[in-house]
Structure 1
Amino acid sequence: MHIPVLTIDGPSGAGKGTVSRIVAKKLGWNYLDSGSIYRSLAIALLQENADLTNETEILVVAQTMDLAFECQDGLIVKLNGQDITSQLGTEATGNVASIVAAIPEVREVLLQKQKDFKKPPGLVADGRDMGTVVFPDADIKVYLTASVAERADRRYKQLIEKGISVNINQITREIEERDCRDKGRKIAPLVQAEDALYIDSSAMTIDAVITQVLSLVPQR
């Protein structure tokens, strides 16, 4: 049985998470937010009080954890049936995620975890290497981006709405630095797949991007 896969890759702030969740919901397909995979493992390790210097112990937790993503009003991430969404952005989670992401064997296990999200009736996967590394044979590939200035402005407005005081110039620098890291890393760098449709959302609304992406999916 053929299971269709739609990948949406791109840099931070391009809108791929929002677009992917809504597209998955409209299609009735499964959804994979690859960016939450390592943070979910970090939370699992913290819950288990695992020894972060013991790679064998880390691998066992990585192999046995059960992850699920639900697209409702926003993204809900469940680890072994427990909603961990609110814990994904904590500093402790980020620190542990950074440690485990540097272990090649862990990356291999989590690569398979990501592939396991491919289930009927289909999958929408968003990240930075979905169409190049995780699902190179995906039916439909999109590379969604926007100018640095536009992405910085979007992030600035998000933080201001949350009551967080920020500097637009600092946000711009951070985005530029992250782009450089993502594109320059040795393992699974951020690149556009040769067969991906390039979409620049700088001057587009979210609805317009969603409409364009949905138009790529054969009539259901």
Structure 2
Amino acid sequence: MSDGRDRVLARVRRALADVPRGERPRDVPVERDYLRTHGARTAGETVDLLAGNLADYRAVVHRTTEDGVGELLARLLSRRGAASVLVPPGLPPHWTAAVDATRVHDRAASTPWELDAVDSVVTGCAVAVAETGTIVLDGGPDQGRRRITLVPDHHVCVVRVPDQVVGSVPEALERLDPRRPLTWISGPSATSDIELDRVEGVHGPRTLEVVLLAAGEGGRAADGG
């Protein structure tokens, strides 16, 4: 072994010298008395905070209700010129009933090249974090395999509000199963080089549109936040 590795291992052994040999991480309770959320908010204020932070990350935010979601999705996909739309098997049928495009199924056999040819993908979500403007997918039936939201260039994600919206990351973690394939999305895919030149669409969709779907009926589909 190298001298550097020997020194690191020696420091680890010294740090663990007072730990009983049979002790395991789960045997030691971890204090979680840190601040879970920053400030008190109503459910509506939490949704508004999510919308604002999503917009800050350059996601395009829309609001609608159940009776307007089909019309809104059809309009967004038509505006995009989407001739093919990837739809997970568990997506509610009425969400995309009016979509005039070729449906693409979420198949394990799909290649990256086939997915790259898809114009748009529409999914639900597992949870959304207001304080960070983050959408989390966990591969559920209305979200599909992780890769279907990483390869196509346009992702429309529907978030049920307020039920799927939490204030903070700790609150989100309580709802998620760490054994599932979790994808955390904060805006469209983007990266910057050392000169801070921003490039979008490198490791995910170039365009992210988020539909905040309110419970109940009676509203009409509306663009914008």
Structure-1-length-normalised TM-score? 0.30
- Larger strand proportion of the pair: 2
- Larger helix proportion of the pair: 1
Look at both structures and tell me which one has the larger radius of gyration over its CA atoms.
2
